[in-house]
Amino acid sequence: MKIEEKQDTLEILNYVVRNTQMGCNTLNQLCEDAKTSALKKELETQKEHYSEVLNKATVMLHNMGEDAEKLGPMTKVSTYVGVAANTMRDSSPRHMADMLIQGSTMGVVDITKRLKDYPNVTPEAHALADSLMHFEQDNIEHLKAFL
């Protein structure tokens, strides 16, 4: 593997790891407050998929001889506080769906930018990032039902 390819692949895979960790953490928190079984089921399904992608990215990094980057403690705390503050004001399914749609939209934009910023990524890592982007797009469509 060429140096550029390895660097770009590490960047993409670590982004996928951070994105999916954030998704899992947020969904864990929101599942506790979900007021309808339909929303809770949707959140659990999304969380399972984020976990699967996280595991795939972690294995790919491990196969490259690298450890996955973890979310920093400040990122975890600020996200937790932000979600808690948002749901304290309004924990309706509509508001939760709106929050998650905004997060998934940011994810789609970020993944798109990163794939353009790191063009030398391996086909496997590109496919994983691309599948995460499509998953985020699907999440947006599924969550519209709760608006």
What is the pLDDT at residue 2? 92
Answer yes or no: pTM beyond 0.85.
yes
Domain 3-146, CATH among 1.10.760.10, 1.20.1260.10, 3.40.50.960, 3.40.190.170:
1.20.1260.10
Widest CA span in the chain: 50
What is the pLDDT at residue 57? 98
pLDDT digits (tens, 9 = 90+) for 47-99: 999 999 999 999 999 999 999 998 888 998 999 999 999 999 999 999 999 99
Tokens encoding 110? 């970020």
What is the pLDDT at residue 123? 97
What is the pLDDT at residue 1? 83
Mean pLDDT of 28-42: 93
Of 2-6, 12-16, 68-72, 138-142, which gets the smallest average pLDDT?
Answer: 68-72
Residues 31-39: contacts with CB within 8 Å, 24+ apart?
Answer: 33/87, 33/91, 33/96, 34/93, 34/96, 35/91, 35/92, 35/93, 36/93, 38/93, 38/146, 39/93, 39/96, 39/97, 39/146
Mean pLDDT of 101-112: 97
Mean pLDDT of 128-134: 97
Q: Residue 111: which pLDDT band, with cuts at 50, 70 and 90? A: very high
User: Is the model's pLDDT at 35 over the cut of 90?
Assistant: no
Tokens encoding 67? 């450890």
